[in-house]
Structure 1
Amino acid sequence: MIIHPHDLIWIDDKASLLTDVELPDWVIQHWQVSLPVVVRRDKLEAEFIPVGIRGCNRSQRLAAKIKQSHIVSVVTPESLVANMQVDDIHAPIKQSLYLLKQYPFSWTWGITGSCGYQLATGVNVLTNQSDLDLLIRCPTPAVMDQLVDLACFIKGLPCRIDVQVETPYGGFALSEWIRDKKVLLKTATGPVITNNPWLL
């Protein structure tokens, strides 16, 4: 099974969560296995997947890891685009998603962050101030003009959108690449500043 950062995974038992600290009260009281954990970008150990647990607010986040054998199901950011159910989503994000589906992407793209979580679970975590977080998978160097065109299109959408570009080595912010021609590439072993995120 191939697991990527930003995938949402469901596990079989709360006891499957392995952490360096005791589970905080908010996890014990509110988190349950009917909710997913999100795959983090971290150095992989054999058989283990680094994950994060989210609570009811932004301050409630916990890093953990699980064994692959405890995974029940996986939802990828891309699958959320293919099976998008936006009835209960705030209008600006809903309109933006509709327009994004019409855009001629040159890459596979998906929905992450709070919107991805809500689409996957039905739990209302979005607010009127929420951004829309997107991911595009770009395994080979992208043509700058294509990225600029995408950035210009996104600027005209009804909500604020943050796009992360995923390469074989990590992820970086689209806006940073266009502005600076170099980026802080988030890799499994830590951040790296580079002017070529497709070659390390």
Structure 2
Amino acid sequence: MEVRPHDLVWVNDPQAIVIESELPEWLNQIDYHQLPMVVRREQLPRQFVPVGIRGRQRAERLAVKIKLRNIIQVVTPESLINHVAIGQLPSHFRDSLQALRDYLSGWQWGITGSCGYQIASGIVSLSTKSDLDLLIRCPIYTDYKQLVAINQFAQHQPCRIDIQIQTPYGGFVLNEWIREQRVLLRTATGPILTHNPWCIGKEY
């Protein structure tokens, strides 16, 4: 089974969740073993998957690992863009996603963050301050002007949109790259500051 950062996963056994730190109080207030967990970036042995557990509040997050063999369901960001639950979102999220579906036709993209979690789980996670978090997969170098155009289109939508670009080496925030011409690339072994997130250690 293949899982990637930002995928949502469910497990079939509470014992599949390996928690190596002290349990926060909020974790005892939720049935965390029944909830989807968000795959994150960390280098682990192949039998484990690094994930994050979400609580009810924005500050309630816990990094743990789970046993790969116990994963029973995987939901990808891409699978959420036409999900029926989008119809239950606030109107400014619905309208933004409709516009993005048309504009990003041909791109490999999906919904992450609180919006993706709510769509996949049915648990209300969005607040009035929530952004619409998107992931665009760019396995090969993508022209800077194309990404600028996407970012400009996103800025004219009804809700605030935060776009992360996924390269073969990791992920970076699109706004940061446009603003600074270099980015903090988030990889499985830690962040790397680079001018070229498609070719680590080399310039364009």
- Measured against the shorter chain, the TM-score band is over 0.9
Q: How does 1:10-25 map to 2 (within 5 A)?
A: 10-25=10-25
SS of 1:129's equivalent in the other structure is coil
Residues 108 and 136 in structure 1, CA contact (< 8 A), matched pair in contact too: yes
| TM-score w.r.t. length of structure 1 | 0.95
Given the superposition, is the C-alpha separation of residues 13 and 26 from structure 1 closer, same or farther in structure 2, using an over 3 Å criterion? farther
Deviation at 1:29, TM superposition (A): 2.6
Partner amino acid, structure 1, of 2:135: L
Partner amino acid, structure 1, of 2:113: G
Partner amino acid, structure 2, of 1:155: Q
Partner amino acid, structure 2, of 1:172: F
Cα distance in structure 2, aligned partners of 1:135 and 1:117: 13
Match of 1:8 in 2: 8
Residues 31 and 55 in structure 1, CA contact (< 8 A), matched pair in contact too: no
| TM-score w.r.t. length of structure 2 | 0.93
Given the superposition, is the C-alpha separation of residues 106 and 179 from structure 1 closer, same or farther in structure 2, using an over 3 Å criterion? farther
Structure 1, unaligned stretches of length 5 or more?
none
Given the superposition, is the C-alpha separation of residues 23 and 15 from structure 1 closer, same or farther in structure 2, using an over 3 Å criterion? farther
Runs of 4+ displaced beyond 3 Å: none
- Please give the per-residue CA displacement for 1:139-166, whole angstroms capped at 9, x wherever unaligned: 0000111101101101100111000000
Report how many aligned residue pairs link the two structures. 200
CA RMSD between the two structures: 1.3
Structure 2, unaligned stretches of length 5 or more?
none
Residues 50 and 63 in structure 1, CA contact (< 8 A), matched pair in contact too: yes
SS of 1:135's equivalent in the other structure is strand
- Please give the per-residue CA displacement for 1:37-93, whole angstroms capped at 9, x wherever unaligned: 110111121210000000000121111001111101000000011324222211211
Query: How high is the sequence identity, in percent, across the aligned residues?
Result: 51
Given the superposition, is the C-alpha separation of residues 146 and 16 from structure 1 closer, same or farther in structure 2, using an over 3 Å criterion? same
Q: How does 1:152-191 map to 2 (within 5 A)?
A: 152-191=152-191
- Please give the per-residue CA displacement for 1:106-155, whole angstroms capped at 9, x wherever unaligned: 52000000000000011111112210000000000001111011011011
